[in-house]
Homo-oligomer: A and B are copies of this chain.
Amino acid sequence: MKFEHALAMFRQGTMTPREYLEEFIAAVQEKEGRIKAFACLDIEQARLHADASTDRYRRQAPLSGIDGMPIGIKDIIDTASLPTCMGSDIYRDWRPRADAEAVDALRSGGAVILGKTRTTEFAIGRATITTNPHDAERTPGGSSSGTAAGVASGMICAGLGTQTQGSIIRPASYCGVVGYKPTWGVLPLHGVHPVSHSHDHLGVIAQSLDVAWALAHCIMKYRPTKENAPLIPLPSLGAEGHPLPRIAVLKTAGYKELSEGELGAFDERMNRWRQSGVQVSGVDEHAELAAFCGELDGVPSLSTEMVASDMRWPYSQYCKNFPAETGEKIHGLVKQGLDISAERYLSLIEHREKLLARLEALSTRYDAFVLPAASGIAPLGLENTGSRTLSVYGSFLGIPAVSLPLITVGHMPLGVQLLGRRSKDHELMCHAKRLAELN
């Protein structure tokens, strides 16, 4: 059952958070053996927290709009009550002294943490064993593999993920659920193991846009920042009566990673939006848009340069002190990063600022930008967690991104990705909700 409906019942007293939690525990008991979404579970603690939530609703005193929501926490995010292993043997049985800031915020809002969800090695290296709920032969996508698979299989309502290049938008797309990567700086990273301080984002994977926003908003309120200040007064989405957005398709060279069938399904979705009255512009209609898309083609490799350079800390120490425990991909990125000079790195920051200014200029004409959320459906096999190409533009620019499960190709989902302007996350989510409600 969707949380929105459960919440109404909690308030009416027709269902308790404990009863709701038991539905998710039943799903865990049925599916976790196949999905392997959790690095660890704490069902007994979750039951205690759900009982406390039940008691709060009885007293008509829920802590927030997420009180009683069963969630998962990606295992590179610190929890004091459960181990935090980063998907790496270097942190086997690691126990931080405090919950990460976002975890503390969610607990303060009454969320019920069912367990830690599996992550690829430090959210950038070796894949994990989690399978795709739509097809156990396929990857759920990385790096927030367990959160996406857990939501898609109904074992949690939502969960925390992180995205450095594609780690929320891609698994959300592969698993057919909502992924929301906020503007850089909107959600706090304290207590989250870093990959790249210039690219890391905390975000949410959820059953629905409303649930994603409710979780993110609960965290923002806990930690006001310059970036999230305009969002704090906006606790819900309420897309009703929201005008249809003007959107522009970001067509990049990355589209060649999609099959004809996948591209056709994406185009069909755009055409259906057009038929519903949405203004969907293409690169052939606007030279500046086309030029901007051309600039995006360089972004995946520039982004990897920045990430590799950022990874010098602490990964060069892991490579040196724990060489066998550290995967080949991380060894390679650290090596690449050590060759990048400070001058080069600063020129990349500058380039990013220029691209952002161009996006701002285009934003006078378009309310949002659209593109596939991944380079097609989830690939076969568990070792390759998929291409990051189409999700990296939003990560590099630090702009809000959302993946909507609106396309199916064969038996597999493919997300439609919307990108917005910095700190205009609420606007983007409202556009997304309006578009998701169209035929």
Contact = CB atoms under 8 A, between A and B. Distances in A.
Contact of A101 (B91, B223, B313, B349): B313
Interface residues of A, number: 33
Contacts of A229: 346, 349
Contact of A317 (B104, B188, B197, B314): B104
Contacts of A188: 197, 313
B342 A224 contact: yes
Nearest to A342: B224
Contacts of A190: 194, 197, 313-314
A345 interface: yes
A355 to B, nearest CB: 15
A138 B104 CA distance: 40
A313 B314 CA distance: 23
A379 interface: no
Given A90-B97, A224-B345, A342-B224, A314 B197 contact: no
B349 A226 contact: yes
A104 B319 CA distance: 13
Contacts of A98: 313-314, 317-318, 321
Interface string A89-104: 0110010011101001
A331 interface: no
Contacts of A346: 224, 229, 232
Interface string A317-332: 1100100000000000
B342 A312 contact: no
A377 to B, nearest CB: 37
A99 B342 contact: no
Interface in A266-316: 312-314, 316
A314 B224 contact: no
A254 interface: no
12 contacts: A80-B321, A90-B97, A97-B318, A98-B314, A98-B317, A98-B318, A101-B314, A104-B313, A104-B316, A222-B313, A224-B346, A226-B349
Interface of A: 80, 90-91, 94, 97-99, 101, 104, 188, 190-191, 194, 197, 221-224, 226, 229, 232, 312-314, 316-318, 321, 342-343, 345-346, 349
